[in-house]
Amino acid sequence: MMSPKEARALMMEWVESDALRTHMECVAACMESYCSGDEEDRSRWIVTGLLHDFDYE
């Protein structure tokens, strides 16, 4: 599974818009706060939030 650090690096490499990056970080933070699972589950939700709009641009 991809780590949040790897997902963030991928997002920074491919997403040019600062506004979209901020949005993706905010969604990741929200999704992390909603998670009540273990650390692996928490990481999965963060990665999902970081990459949910990866193909938007």
pLDDT tens per residue across span 23-51: 999 999 999 999 888 888 899 999 999 99
What pLDDT is stored for residue 16 in this prediction?
Answer: 96
Residue 19 within a domain: yes
Residue 29 within a domain: yes
Q: Which domain holds residue 35?
A: 4-51
The model's pTM = 0.88
- How many domains does the structure of the chain reveal? 1
Residue 57 within a domain: no
Residue 56 within a domain: no
Residue 46 within a domain: yes
Specify whether the CB–CB gap between 3 and 44 falls below 8 A: no
50 contacts: CB under 8 Å, gap ≥ 6? 4, 7, 8, 11, 24, 25, 27, 28
What pLDDT is stored for residue 15 in this prediction?
Answer: 97
The average pLDDT across 3-19 equals: 97
Residue 33 within a domain: yes
Residue 36 within a domain: yes
